[in-house]
Chain A
Amino acid sequence: MKPARFSLALRYLGLLTILAISIGPFLWQFSTSVKGPAEDVFVPDFIPDDPTFGNYAAVADVVPVWSFALNSLGVASVNVVTNCLGAAMAGYALARLKFRGRKLAAVVFASSILVPFEAILISLFLVMRGLGLTDTLTAVVLPGSIAALNVLLLRNAFLALPAEVEEAAVIDGANAWQRFTRLALPSVKGTLVVVALFSFMFSWDDFLWPLVVLSDQEKYTLTIGLAYLQGTFVQNQRLVAAGTIIAVLPLILLFLLLQKHFFRGVGEGAIKG
C-alpha cells in the first residue's frame, strides 16, 4: 500500500509543520531566557552555549515580578471561587426553583453577555471610582467575579439533572440550600471544573481592565507588570523572556494536567473571547 504510506507521511509532515509554528515561538523565548550575559541573544541559535537560570533571579531585581505573580495568583484564585459558587447558586435558582421573575432574571444574565467589555470600560472605571476602589485588587476581581456566561452554563448543567432525586429530598424535608449543596452541586462537577479553569485562565491573562484600573506599581498583576517591564528594560531581552516564561509556565502546567477539560470548555461555549 504505497499511496497510503505516502499520504500518512504527508500528514505527519503537515502536523510537524504546525507543531513547529505553534510551539517554536515559546521555545525561542525559553531559549533566550536561559542565555547567559556573555552570549549574543540576537544570533539565531536555539541551543544556549552555557544555559543559566540567572535571568529568573535577575528579573526580580528589576521589577518585583514575584509579587506581581502573587497578585495575579490571588486575583485568579478569588475569581475561581466566586465564579464557581456565585454562578452555581444563580444557575441553580434559574434551573431548579420556581418563582415569579425567573424569566426576567434569566434575561438580565443573557443580555449582559451581549455587552462587550470594551464598551463599558470607561463607565466601569467610574463605578469603581465611585466605590472608592480604584487602584485595588478588589476592583480587578469584581467585574468578572460572577460571569453571566458561567451562570448560564451552570443553569444548563442543572437543567440536565433528573428531577426525581430532588423530589425525594423534598419529601425527606431537605430545604433548598441543602438540596443545592448536597445533591445538585456534586452532580455538576464536570461543568464546575470547566468554569474554574476558564475563570482562572481568563483572570490570569486579563490585560485591559487591570491596565485601566491599576496605577500603583505595587498592585500590578503579572500581565501589566510584564508590559511595564518591556517598556522600561527592553534592552535586556533575557529578562523580558524570563518574565514571560514565569507568566506562562503555570498555565501550561495546568493545561497539561487538565487538558481534556480545556477542550470540553471550548466545546461547551466558553466562547467569551
Chain B
Amino acid sequence: MTHRPYTPWLFLLPGLGVCLMFTIFPFLNMIVLAFTDASALGGGRFTGVDNFVRMAQDPKFWLAARNSLLYMAGVVPPLVLLPLLIAMLAQKVVPGIGIFRTAFFTPVIASAVVVGLIWTWLLDSRGLVNNVVEALGGTRIGFLTDSTLLLVSSMVVTVWRGLGYYMVIYLAALANVPKDLHEAAMVDGAGPVRRFWSVTVPALRPTMVLIAALSAVNGFRVFSEIYLLSGGTGGPGGASTTMVMLIQSVGRGLTGEVGYASALSFVLFVILLGLLLVTLKLNRREDQL
C-alpha cells in the first residue's frame, strides 16, 4: 500500500463535489421537477405527464423546437464543408501561412457576445452590409427585423465563428492522410477534384462525422447569437425563439414556471442525447468498414 485508504478520496473531493453538486444533482432534480408543477417560489405537486401534454399543445414549444431544428439543419452542412475547404487552402506550408492560420482562428476566441454585437452592427438596417448591398444597386435588407432572415443571419454568425475551430480539427486530420494515396491517384491521372472526392473525403469521413455531430449539438443549443442579434427579444413577436431561449424565459424570474421549464429541459436533453447516439452508431459503422 503506497497510500492510506482515504487519500484518493481527499484528492477527488473538490472535483467530485463540484461535479455532483452542480451537474449530477441538478440533472436528476431537473428530471423530477419535469413531472411537477413547481414554481419559482418552490413547492410543486407531482402532476404526472401534465407538463408534456401541455407542451404538445403549446405553439411556443413547437415554434422553438422547429427553430432549433432549422438552425441545426442550417449550420451543419456549411460547418462540415467550408472548414474543410479552408483547411485544404491552409494545409500547404507557404510563406506567411502562420499568419493566415492565426487570423482564421481569431473569431473562435471572441465571445459569442462580442461576435453577436459585431454582427448586429454589420447587419444593421443602415450598417456596412446594407451599404454594400445598396451600392451594388439593391435595396436595404431587414437582416435583423424579419424573423426568417434573423434566423439565417444568426446561422451565418454561427458558421463564421465556427470556421476556424473546425479548420484546426481538419488540419490535424489532413496531416494524417497518407501522402502515397494522393500520389497513386495522381499517377492514375486523377485531377484535383477527383482526388478530393476519392482520396480526401473517404480518409476524413470519421472527422466529418465528428464535426457534423459537434456542430449539430451546438446548433440545436443555440442561444447567444439569436439573443444578441434580436436584442434579447427573440425576433419580431418572438418568432425566432429557440429551445434554450424558451427554457430561459419560461423558467426565469419570480414568475418562473420551474416545472414546465424542467420538462422543456428534459426534452432538450433527450434530443441532444439522441443526436449523440446516432453519431456513435455512425462511427461504429465506420469502424466495421
- Residues of chain A at the chain B interface (Cβ within 8 Å): 8, 11-12, 14-15, 18-19, 21-23, 25-26, 28-29, 32, 42-44, 82, 85-87, 89-90, 92-94, 97, 99, 102, 105, 108-109, 111-112, 114-116, 118-127, 142-143, 145-146, 148, 151, 170, 175-177, 180, 201, 204-208, 211-212, 222-224, 226-227, 230-231, 234, 237, 240-241, 243-244, 247-248, 251-252, 254-256, 259, 262-263, 266-267, 271, 273
Interface of B is mostly: helix
Contact between A26 and B118, CB atoms less than 8 A apart: yes
* A80 to B110 Cα, complex, angstroms: 18
The answer on a CB contact under 8 Å between B27 and A119 is: yes
Provide the residues of chain A in CB contact with B119, threshold 8 Å: 25
- Residues on B close to A: CB < 8 A? 2-3, 5, 7-9, 11-12, 14-16, 18-27, 29-30, 33, 86, 89-90, 92, 94, 97, 100, 102-107, 109-114, 117-122, 124, 126-128, 131-132, 135, 160, 163-165, 168-169, 172, 214, 217-218, 221, 223-224, 227-228, 231-232, 243-244, 247-248, 251-252, 256, 258, 261-262, 265-266, 268-269, 272-273, 276
Cα–Cα, bound, A10→B15 (Å): 51
Q: In the complex, what distance in Å separates the CA atom of A241 from the CA atom of B214?
A: 31
B94, A226: Cβ atoms closer than 8 Å:
no
Is B3's CB under 8 angstroms from A25's CB? no
Task: Report whether over half of chain A's contact residues are helix, strand or loop; otherwise say mixed.
Answer: helix
- Residues of B near A145 (CB, < 8 A) are 18
Contact between B33 and A123, CB atoms less than 8 A apart: yes
The answer to whether B261 and A118 have CB atoms under 8 Å apart is: no
What residues of chain B lie closer than 8 Å to A227, measured between beta carbons? 113, 117, 227-228, 232
In chain A, what residue has the closest Cβ to B134? A44
Q: Given the complex, which residues of B lie within 8 Å of A93, measured CB to CB?
A: 8-9, 11-12
In whole angstroms, how far apart are the Cα atoms of A123 and B124 in the complex? Answer: 36
Contact B268 A119 (CB under 8 A): yes
A108 touches B111 (CB 8 A): no
- Provide the residues of chain A in CB contact with B15, threshold 8 Å: 86-87, 89-90, 109, 146, 148, 151
A207 to B283, CA, bound (A): 32
A15 with B100: CB separation less than 8 A: yes
Q: How many A-B residue pairs have CB under 8 A?
A: 270
Known: A42-B126, A142-B22. 14 other contacts (CB 8 A): A14-B89, A82-B14, A92-B11, A99-B8, A105-B12, A116-B269, A121-B251, A122-B30, A122-B265, A151-B19, A227-B113, A247-B114, A259-B102, A262-B109
Report the bound CA distance from A208 to B165 in whole Å.
21
Chain A residues with Cβ below 8 Å from B227 are 227
A255 touches B109 (CB 8 A): yes
- B12 close to A15 (CB less than 8 A): no
Q: Would A252 and B14 be within 8 Å (CB), given that A119-B272, A122-B251 are in contact?
A: no
Q: Is the CB of B19 within 8 A of A123?
A: no
Q: Nearest Cβ distance between residue A179 and chain B, in whole angstroms?
A: 8
A32 to B100, CA, bound (A): 24
B104-A18 in contact (CB<8A): yes
Q: Are B106 and A176 in contact (CB under 8 A)?
A: no
Which 9 pairs, one residue from A and one from B, show the smallest C-beta to C-beta distance?
A90-B15, A205-B111, A122-B251, A93-B11, A123-B26, A123-B30, A119-B269, A120-B26, A112-B23
A23 touching B131, Cβ below 8 Å: no
B218 and A273 contacting across the interface, CB-CB below 8 Å: yes
Residue of A nearest to B166 (CB): A266
Chain B hits for A23, CB < 8 A: 103, 106
